[in-house]
Amino acid sequence: MQFSQLYENAVSKLSQAGIDSAPVDAFLLFEFCFGLTRSQLFLHGANEVPARELVKFNSVLDRRLSREPLHYITGMREFWSLDFVVSPAVLIPRPETEFVIDTVLATMKKQGYHQGFILDMCTGSSVIAVVLSLELEADNVVAVDISTDALVIAKQNICKFGLAEKITLICSDLFTALHKNKQYEVIVANPPYISEDDIIGLQPEVRDWEPRSALTGGLDGLDLIERIADQVYRYLVPGGWLFVEIGSDQREKVDELFSCHGSKEYDNVAILSDWSGHPRLLQARKRRKE
């Protein structure tokens, strides 16, 4: 079979399986299996596919047809123009989290970052910790996750980008394993925030493959966000900034949670909308000492 025929067949099968991104996915699988760029695929489309490589391609295509996420198959996900290692132990990084990082960096540029400690809560694959360390040239980043399997992937990414001396990994259920007297200039949290009832309606790639513990935040999706709201101000330096990624339907409840502490703990509480116009990020600053 020729490369061009194989590509067309792959697109057709993926489309029939209900995968909207069939042409892109087929190309990425080609790149993964054969190392062909898009231009090479079309230049050499009439070439015959070697039998051994055809077997490999059909195997990974079957995995994608079963709705296994493409990035779990390839083991990589591009994020912030960097290639991160991913596996079923971690969520696949999403554009919403790029918005979070972009907002953090913009705030630090405007307000000033003083090389204090940064805490990345629920780090997963460590994309937030890595990008903030690189972009802010931060040497004091702490990345926390309750999952030891996730921390294995986080460590791979931290080492990949040469940040092992700058990012410390801690296995912890939120703040439980952190030093009680240590405070951070910036805390960024991307906790599970999907409600149990909403899980069933997610795409199969998410519902059936991504780690449930990193997706659901309990019956209303707010279990971990409530715990963060209740404890996080103790871990911020006066004038320190907090950023928490939230669900698009949680604006009012999250605003209420943090406003409970707002009058005495924070001088800035806002819910910011992402690039698609959906509520996505809780931003707050701890009051400075008078």
What CATH number does the domain containing 276 carry? Answer: 3.40.50.150
User: Residue 290 burial (CB < 10 Å; 0-12/13-18/19+)?
Assistant: exposed
Q: Does residue 73 sit within a domain?
A: no
Q: Are residues 279 and 242 in the same domain?
A: yes
User: Residue 188 burial (CB < 10 Å; 0-12/13-18/19+)?
Assistant: buried
Q: Domain count of the chain?
A: 2
Whether the pLDDT of residue 211 is over 90: the answer is yes
Model confidence at 160, pLDDT cuts 50, 70, 90, reads very high
Q: Does residue 192 sit within a domain?
A: yes
**CA–CA distance, 257 with 230 (Å, rounded to integer):** 8
Q: Are residues 9 and 90 in the same domain?
A: no
Instruction: Report which of 147, 139, 138, 167 is spatially closest to residue 155, judged by C-alpha positions.
Output: 167
Please say which residue of 15, 41, 66 terminates a domain.
66
Q: Does residue 232 sit within a domain?
A: yes
Please say which residue of 31, 66, 101 terminates a domain.
66
Q: Are residues 59 and 95 in the same domain?
A: no
Q: Does residue 250 sit within a domain?
A: yes
For position 265, what pLDDT does the model report?
A: 86
The domain in which residue 39 lies consists of 3-66
Q: Are residues 55 and 91 in the same domain?
A: no
Q: Are residues 96 and 197 in the same domain?
A: yes
For position 45, what pLDDT does the model report?
A: 82
Q: Which residues pair with 284 in a beta bridge?
A: 242, 269
Q: Does residue 100 sit within a domain?
A: yes
Which of 54-68, 81-95, 247-261 has the weakest average pLDDT? Answer: 247-261
Whether the pLDDT of residue 140 is over 80: the answer is yes
Whether the pLDDT of residue 38 is over 60: the answer is yes
Q: Are residues 11 and 48 in the same domain?
A: yes
For position 264, what pLDDT does the model report?
A: 78
Q: Does residue 72 sit within a domain?
A: no
For position 257, what pLDDT does the model report?
A: 87
Q: Does residue 71 sit within a domain?
A: no
- Work out the average pLDDT over 165-176: 97
Residue 41 contacts by C-beta under 8 Å, 6 or more apart in sequence? 3, 4, 7, 27, 30
Per-residue model confidence as pLDDT tens digits over 60-92: 999 999 999 999 999 999 999 999 999 999 999
Contact criterion met (CB below 8 Å) for 107 and 283:
yes
Q: Are residues 56 and 122 in the same domain?
A: no
For position 40, what pLDDT does the model report?
A: 84
Contact criterion met (CB below 8 Å) for 72 and 86:
yes
Q: Which residues pair with 168 in a beta bridge?
A: 142
Judged by DSSP in three states, 230 sits in helix
Q: Are residues 102 and 23 in the same domain?
A: no
For position 290, what pLDDT does the model report?
A: 63
Q: Are residues 252 and 111 in the same domain?
A: yes
